Chains A and B, each alone.
Chain A
Amino acid sequence: GAGVSQSPRYKVTKRGQDVALRCDPISGHVSLYWYRQALGQGPEFLTYFNYEAQQDKSGLPNDRFSAERPEGSISTLTIQRTEQRDSAMYRCASSLGRGPTNSPLHFGNGTRLTVT
């Protein structure tokens, strides 16, 4: 596609429910990143994939958060047993090469998650 596509755009869920956020990167991009952005803040790193391999998950806040990219293209970020503090904009980004300092990140429009 023309850009990084994320779905859903908005997700409202009740505390305790699981959610799955989807990211479809730019075709041919080998690197895929998940970031979380709180209002008035810059994006905060969650996890990184090189093709299908999860290279870095150091930014995932706790074990309720997980991500996968099984075929090296589409990725899913899953949050289990959601809590109100999980409410934020979740952004996916992809890049052509390995690492954000080799080739710039292209961000998606994000999924706004609200946990009530």
Chain B
Amino acid sequence: EDKVVQSPLSLVVHEGDTVTLNCSYEVTNFRSLLWYKQEKKAPTFLFMLTSSGIEKKSGRLSSILDKKELFSILNITATQTGDSAVYLCAGGSYNTDKLIFGTGTRLQVFP
């Protein structure tokens, strides 16, 4: 059965710290790995990773995929209180039109 596992489940840091969120996946006919940020309401899209070893970057956030070891990391540098959220990762395959989501990492950034 396909699955996506995220770690840690929860993380508490101070503003200015750098954090690394982990996502491992087992997805049949894997195609892409996606990261979403979920604050109080809807998950919002961050990154889609399809190729191994190519870093995607958006401001203080960056992410990379390792298709050999079947994992991805999401880095956030110089964290701010606005980064507090649940970060979800999801795997997609060539076979189906559904994403398999992990349970998320809850990040809390304190001033």
Contact = CB atoms under 8 A, between A and B. Distances in A.
Interface of A: 3-4, 31, 33, 40-45, 48, 50, 55-56, 58-59, 91, 98-101, 104-110
A82 to B, nearest CB: 23
B98 interface: yes
Interface in B45-99: 45, 48, 50, 88, 90, 92-94, 96-99
Contacts, number: 70
Nearest to B88: A42
B97 A105 contact: no
Nearest to A108: B42
Nearest first, the 4 A-B pairs at minimum CB distance are A42-B101, A45-B98, A101-B92, A107-B42
Nearest to B31: A101
Interface residues of B, number: 26
A23 B43 CA distance: 16
Given A31-B97, A98-B97, 19 more contacts: A3-B42, A4-B42, A42-B4, A43-B43, A43-B90, A50-B97, A56-B96, A56-B97, A56-B98, A91-B43, A100-B98, A101-B48, A101-B99, A104-B34, A104-B45, A104-B48, A107-B43, A109-B42, A110-B42
